[in-house]
Amino acid sequence: MRSLIASSGLFFLSVAAQASHTIDNPLPVITPQFNSPSTVWNDLSDALPVVPSTIEPFESGYSFASCGAGTGDGVEEYDAYNIFYDDCPEPWQVCLHKDNGISLDSVAEMFGKVPVGFRQYVRDLTVGNNSVAFWKNTSLVMSPNFWRIYVMIHESTHAVDLLSTADLIALDAGTYSDSQEWRDAYYSDKSVPTTGSNYLWEESFAEMGPRAFYDWYVEGGLANFQPNWSEFENQLSTFKSLVGHRAQLGGTCEFRVANEPAVPTSSTSRRRRGPAPDTSFKSDIRVIRVPDNLPTFEFTE
């Protein structure tokens, strides 16, 4: 396998986070800037294997509590499912807006392309019908305008950043992006890959995610489209040392964020709906401890 290296891009990001995580002395954005996102990131999508899955609909009249959260839509505008992947004994809760035009099979396929070492830190997935994409309180929200593997890996990187150290060390252990090791790597380089990489530490870390995956899994790596990638080589090699073990293909899930409880989707009486489904884990998988007051990271362009 290639070492985890990143590339450039043209994406701009916004975030609700503590001001203390702002980069006070940002680096310049690399030149030439990358201006062909769809072709390049399709290559990454093609390079990542599809993990087989089984899809089961939620019981009629029910969804899960975080379905559609933050989109402005009501839960009744979505269909809810459990998606079981072959690499984990527990399902992921997924809700799909009834009018967004993205097929359920496409949802299962793309989410399954995120290696399980990253995917395990995402509690659930909403695919809405508006122009939003964000990671909020362990939930990932996507939409047709952002339906790309780039965005999904970027937002999943936030989950790894904010949750994996808390789970493995302590709830107050901090994050990779806020570590001195990451800041030292940042200031050892000449540039950053995108404008979104140089105003918050969390975003500088998350922008390395899809670029690292590209260089690792696409033949030829970043040199295919960014001749000056070595200008941020220290950031990328540090990304590999911190979370590269989570980005490996294959394997099985080690941890999961606990599922949300089931909620009714209408005012239909409970007798007519039937009993609420049990969303608790049935295996002995380790449950990730979630810190309080997690920030929200929104992806825009």
Quick: pLDDT tens for 222-243.
888 888 999 999 999 999 899 9
Cis preceding linkage at 89, omega within 30: no
* pLDDT reported for residue 173: 56
SS3 154: helix
* pLDDT reported for residue 170: 42
In degrees, to the nearest 5, what angle opens at C-alpha 114 toward C-alphas 212 and 217? 40
List, in order, residues 6 or more apart from 17 with CB less than 8 Å away: 200, 202, 295, 296, 297
Euclidean distance between CA atoms 16 and 5, whole angstroms: 27
Q: Which helix (H) or strand (E) element contains residue 235? A: helix 233-243
pTM: 0.89
Q: Choose the weakest-confidence range: 8-22, 146-160, 176-190.
A: 8-22
* pLDDT reported for residue 126: 97
Cβ-count burial 185-202 (b if 16+ within 10 Å, e if not): bbeebebbbbbbbbbbbb
Residue 79, token pair as written in the block:
């269909």
Closest to 69 in 3D by CA, of 296, 301, 277: 296
Is residue 4 predicted with pLDDT exceeding 60? no
Facing residues of 287 across strands? Answer: 256
Q: Report domain extents, the chain.
A: 12-300
Facing residues of 296 across strands? Answer: 16, 136
Mean pLDDT over 247-275 rounds to 86
Whether the Cβ atoms of residue 4 and residue 218 lie closer than 8 Å to each other: no
* pLDDT reported for residue 267: 62
Is residue 18 predicted with pLDDT exceeding 70? no
Mean of pLDDT over the chain = 86
Is residue 26 predicted with pLDDT exceeding 50? yes
Is residue 260 predicted with pLDDT exceeding 60? yes
72 C-beta neighbours (distance < 10 Å), count: 11
Closest to 181 in 3D by CA, of 228, 129, 242, 231: 242
Tens of pLDDT along 139-169? Answer: 999 999 899 999 999 999 999 998 876 544 4
